[in-house]
Structure 1
Amino acid sequence: MVDPRTPVIVGVGQFTERVDDSGYRGMSAVDLATEAVRAALADTGADAGAVAGAIEVFAGLRQFEICTPFADPPLGASDNYLRSVAQRVGADPARAVLEPIGGNGPQKLVTEFATAIAAGDVEVVLVVGSEPGSTTKYFAKRDDKPDFTERVGGQLEDRGYGFEQYMSDYTVAHGLTGAPVQYGLLDNARRARTGLGVEGYRREMAELFAPFTEIAAKNPFSSSPVQRSVEELMTVTDDNRMICDPYPRLMVARDTVNQGAAALVMSVAAARKLGVPEEKWVYLRGHADQTEQDLLDRADLSVSVSAEQAVAEALRVAGIGIDQVATFDLYSCFPFPVFAVCDAFGLAPDDPRGLTLTGGLPYFGGPGNSYSLHGIAETVAEMRDKPGTFGLVGANGGVMSKYSVGVYSTEPADWVADRSKALQDDIAALPKVPVTRHVNGRGTIETYSVRYDWPVRTGIIIGRLESDGSRFMAITEDDDLVALMTDSDPLGAVVDVTADGDKNRATRA
């Protein structure tokens, strides 16, 4: 017997529509989420109407189209996404919560509200997310555009956008305006540490991701169910063009998807009251949330302290070691987040347990901030199929900025609090690299990326000044330097840097 306030996940749901499906509808964010919630309600094995009526909190993830205040959703949107979904499934929650940007959000919300359930503050919570990127692209050049505008009003706890945590005027001025270039800097920093050349590292990334495609090919919720070889992933072609160094297209998260996911969390007491069969219950046995230093402050750009600490703490709370984990779903927008966990815990890319249950963001699909809700759904299903084993979900947000971990199992145990706050103090106490914003001098390239996705091919550099070892950023369109960055290996190369307004510009020394 466990404490009746112990939180359990009792229902999970997923939904995907592909543009090449015969019944493709081009659904809205609300419609996609509604399908996922209905699936989660049915998955409980209890009366769906009674469960829906018992939900006290709808907690949701932002779609890309509502992630900034700078543009309106191109096809319109609800003014209260969560209450639009609630109305469609017969729920009337007392509280609706919209989480800031971050792929860590699904696991962070599950942990947050599981904690609240354990404290007796609430009994039944739904976590939901969806992404209509496919719909947006499908209707972009069509005249028959739908209007998804809804005015439902009602209470909404909007926690803000949160993008300011991942970028600054300085980094934006130097080209860090998208995830591929940001993670390209991290993967190339890791390449510098491994000592691999450009081709060798591209092969290592492909060897990491090829098994992911095998999982995606078998997953009925996958947006791209195609198995691909190592050679196919690493070979640059017109179809597999370079996006931002070191990534060809097939190693980049696939965000043009229509996907939704949902998870129902409730107390053991509520599960019993609502008639949810015990074989549906999955416990959140371990959990932790950590926030990394700002990108340019980090002493070593090739590792993730937050991911390592969060995984280690979640395992400690669960009372197990990494060898006792039966399944993993590690956030995989690019290779680096997977490598960061593998490096820290000695996991091999070909670990027989696998590193994903979905198939990963480039192949299963990267539905914005809500991807890891699919990872949680798959993990819950696996735990039910393998009673007594443990599954780990690693959810990542920003530029390896926030990492949230959950360890799941059908093995019952009372709720155990984690030490995330105390561990966060350890990260806050780490040394910071000094940064020189305006540079006139000579430096060396610490890491880099190249933006092939801009009209003019542009190099992005993080370097160290020869004069004092401080870190700087620079941008370059210099033919000689860009050629070095695209055709050879610029790590450690010497560059001349000149301040030009809000930018530093680099040329080959």
Structure 2
Amino acid sequence: MVDPRTPVVVGVGQFTERIDDPDYRGMSSVALATEAVRAALADTGVAPAAVAEAIEVFAGLRQFEICTPMPPPLGASDNYVRSVARRVGANPARAVLEPIGGNGPQKLMTEFAGEIAAGAIEVALILGSENGSTLKTFANRPDADKPDFTERVGGQLDDRGYGYEQYMSEYTVKHGLTGAPVQYGLLDNARRAKLGLSVDEYRRQMAELFAPFVKVAAKNPFSASPVERSVDELVTVTAENRMICDPYPRLMVARDQVNQGAAAVVMSVAAARRLGVPEENWVYLRGHADLVEQDLLLRADLGASVSAELAVTEALRVAGIGLDDVATFDLYSCFPFPVFTVCDTMGLAADDPRGLTLTGGLPFFGGPGNAYSLHGIAETVCEMRERPGTFGLVGANGGVMTKYSVGIYSTDPADWAVDRSKELQAQIAALPEVAVTRDVDTTGVIETYSVRYDWPETTGIIIGRLDDGSRFMATSTDADLVALLSGGEPLGQRISMTAVDGINQARLA
């Protein structure tokens, strides 16, 4: 017997439409989420209407189309969360819209499971969706042929803001850190520097990491790209597998132009019993932790993640298990680095026979914006039901390896346990910081780098160190330096900088 306030996940749902499906509709974010929520309500095993009416909190993940103040290209609801709630016959007391960050699904699960355990609420639903495929499909069509997804529903909404301030600054934006591939390219190349691998060796290591993910995605009915590919196909640069940002060809980059939705219902044991949810549907959140990394340029080691290591370790402690006791993993995989760093810090082999994904990973299953790990949670819940008494770990990452949230799930019952994330966050805050020199008119060496092939002019993006140990950023379109960055070994290379309007412009020294 457990405390009746103990939270249990009782329903999960997913939905995907692919552009090559014969019944492809080009759906809105609201419509995609609605399909997933309906599936989650049905998955509880009781009347969906009864569950919908009992939900007190609808918590949504922010889509890319509403991640900036710019108007959504095809229009959107003024209250995404309540638009979905209305379609499924729910009228929650609270609607919440989370800031950007792929850690959001697990963070929200932990937050509202905690509120349930505290007796503040009894039933919550977490939902997310992304309609990048629809946006791409209609992008170049005449306005008359475009759908209008504008809705005015109003109502209460706890809009928690965009959240960009945690991921970028004026200084980093000026130096080209305006997209995830270039940001993670810096981290993967920093890890390569630590390992002492060549460009080709590291690219093959990335492909070998992701090859098993491809196999999982190929069998997943909710996958956006159920196509099996070999290591050689992943590693070889071709017209189809073009370079995006060094060190990534396209097939190693999160696939964000997808139409996908996911949802999960979590409620107290008391509510589950009252509503008649079959106990075989109950999955407990046995371990959890949420941590935030230092700002990018302040980190002593750009090739590792302290927050991910501490979050995984703490979630295991809360669950009362070790890493060897975990039966399944779904590690956030927008790029290789978030998977590698968990493996590195936790002593988990990249080819662990348990596998590192249940979905197939963001480049292959699909990367529906901030909502991806809700699919990871859904897959984990289903797997735990099939394997009673085992444990599944979900690792959710946001920003530039900025925020890491971990959940450990099991049908094995236990009362809710509080994690020590606040105390661990204080440890991260106390870590040494690297000094940053903003304007540089001298020489330094390349610590890590990426190359933006996605810009009109191929541009090198550099993080380097000055002779005094301080860190700087620089960009370069210098032909000789760009050639070295894109086709040679630039790590440790001495370069010369000139500061112009707050941008350090680099060339070979």
What amino acid is aligned across from residue 219 of structure 2 in structure 1?
K
Find the counterpart in structure 2 of residue 125 from structure 1. Answer: 124
Find the counterpart in structure 1 of residue 102 from structure 2. Answer: 103
5+ residue gaps, structure 2, are: none
Q: Render the CA deviation track for 1:154-211: whole Å, top value 9, x for unaligned.
A: 0000000001110000000000000000000000000000110000000000000000
Find the counterpart in structure 1 of residue 429 from structure 2. Answer: 428
Find the counterpart in structure 1 of residue 241 from structure 2. Answer: 240
Shift of 1:142: 1.8
Distance 2:202 2:351 in 1: 16
Distance 1:263 1:331 in 2: 18
Is 1:42 matched up with 2:42?
yes
Is 1:261 matched up with 2:237?
no
Find the counterpart in structure 2 of residue 142 from structure 1. Answer: 141
Distance 2:45 2:16 in 1: 22
Distance 1:8 1:156 in 2: 25
Shift of 1:74: 0.3
1:374-413 equivalent positions in 2, closer than 5 A? 374-413=375-414
Shift of 1:349: 1.5
Is 1:85 matched up with 2:101?
no
Shift of 1:262: 0.1
Is 1:175 matched up with 2:176?
yes
Shift of 1:47: 1.1
Task: Output the TM-score relative to the length of structure 2.
Answer: 0.99
Distance 1:224 1:440 in 2: 47
What amino acid is aligned across from residue 318 of structure 1 in structure 2?
A
Shift of 1:68: 1.2
Find the counterpart in structure 2 of residue 191 from structure 1. Answer: 192
Find the counterpart in structure 1 of residue 278 from structure 2. Answer: 277
Is 1:230 matched up with 2:234?
no
What amino acid is aligned across from residue 155 of structure 1 in structure 2?
Q
Find the counterpart in structure 2 of residue 73 from structure 1. Answer: 72
Q: Render the CA deviation track for 1:3-52: whole Å, top value 9, x for unaligned.
A: 00000000000000000000000000000000000000000001111000
What amino acid is aligned across from residue 244 of structure 1 in structure 2?
C
Distance 1:153 1:411 in 2: 41
Distance 1:422 1:454 in 2: 42
Shift of 1:345: 1.1
Find the counterpart in structure 1 of residue 62 from structure 2. Answer: 62
Shift of 1:487: 1.1
- The DSSP-based 3-state class of the residue aligned with 2:506 is strand
**Following TM superposition, where does structure 1 have runs of at least 4 consecutive aligned residues deviating by more than 4 angstroms?**
none
Find the counterpart in structure 1 of residue 483 from structure 2. Answer: 483
- The DSSP-based 3-state class of the residue aligned with 1:288 is strand
Shift of 1:255: 0.2
Distance 2:279 2:208 in 1: 40
RMSD value over aligned CA atoms?
0.4
Q: Render the CA deviation track for 1:278-323: whole Å, top value 9, x for unaligned.
A: 0000000000000000000000000000000000000000000000
5+ residue gaps, structure 1, are: none
What amino acid is aligned across from residue 439 of structure 1 in structure 2?
V
Shift of 1:454: 0.4
- The DSSP-based 3-state class of the residue aligned with 1:87 is helix
What amino acid is aligned across from residue 75 of structure 2 in structure 1?
G
Distance 1:126 1:240 in 2: 38
- The DSSP-based 3-state class of the residue aligned with 2:442 is strand
Distance 1:141 1:429 in 2: 50
Distance 2:463 2:351 in 1: 32
- The DSSP-based 3-state class of the residue aligned with 1:504 is strand
Distance 2:165 2:433 in 1: 19
Distance 1:233 1:501 in 2: 40
1:279-318 equivalent positions in 2, closer than 5 A? 279-318=280-319
Q: Render the CA deviation track for 1:335-391: whole Å, top value 9, x for unaligned.
A: 000000000111112111000000000000000000000000000000000000000
What amino acid is aligned across from residue 486 of structure 1 in structure 2?
S
Distance 1:439 1:418 in 2: 43
Number of equivalenced pairs: 507
Distance 1:448 1:141 in 2: 34
Deviates more, 1:340-349 or 1:255-264: 340-349
- The DSSP-based 3-state class of the residue aligned with 1:13 is strand
Is 1:17 matched up with 2:17?
yes
What amino acid is aligned across from residue 237 of structure 1 in structure 2?
T
- The DSSP-based 3-state class of the residue aligned with 1:440 is coil
Q: Render the CA deviation track for 1:433-465: whole Å, top value 9, x for unaligned.
A: 000000011100000000000010000000001
- The DSSP-based 3-state class of the residue aligned with 1:437 is coil
- The DSSP-based 3-state class of the residue aligned with 1:339 is helix
Is 1:344 matched up with 2:335?
no
Is 1:215 matched up with 2:216?
yes
Find the counterpart in structure 1 of residue 449 from structure 2. Answer: 448
Find the counterpart in structure 2 of residue 113 from structure 1. Answer: 112
Distance 1:72 1:87 in 2: 23
- The DSSP-based 3-state class of the residue aligned with 1:93 is coil
Q: Render the CA deviation track for 1:216-255: whole Å, top value 9, x for unaligned.
A: 0000000000111110000000000000000000000000
Distance 1:461 1:345 in 2: 29
- The DSSP-based 3-state class of the residue aligned with 1:189 is helix
Distance 1:313 1:293 in 2: 18
Is 1:497 matched up with 2:490?
no
Find the counterpart in structure 2 of residue 26 from structure 1. Answer: 26
Distance 2:349 2:334 in 1: 18
Find the counterpart in structure 1 of residue 365 from structure 2. Answer: 364
Shift of 1:479: 0.5
Shift of 1:141: 1.5
- The DSSP-based 3-state class of the residue aligned with 2:165 is helix
Find the counterpart in structure 1 of residue 93 from structure 2. Answer: 94
- The DSSP-based 3-state class of the residue aligned with 2:481 is helix
Find the counterpart in structure 2 of residue 457 from structure 1. Answer: 458
Percent identity, please: 79
Find the counterpart in structure 2 of residue 5 from structure 1. Answer: 5
Distance 2:232 2:80 in 1: 42
Find the counterpart in structure 1 of residue 420 from structure 2. Answer: 419
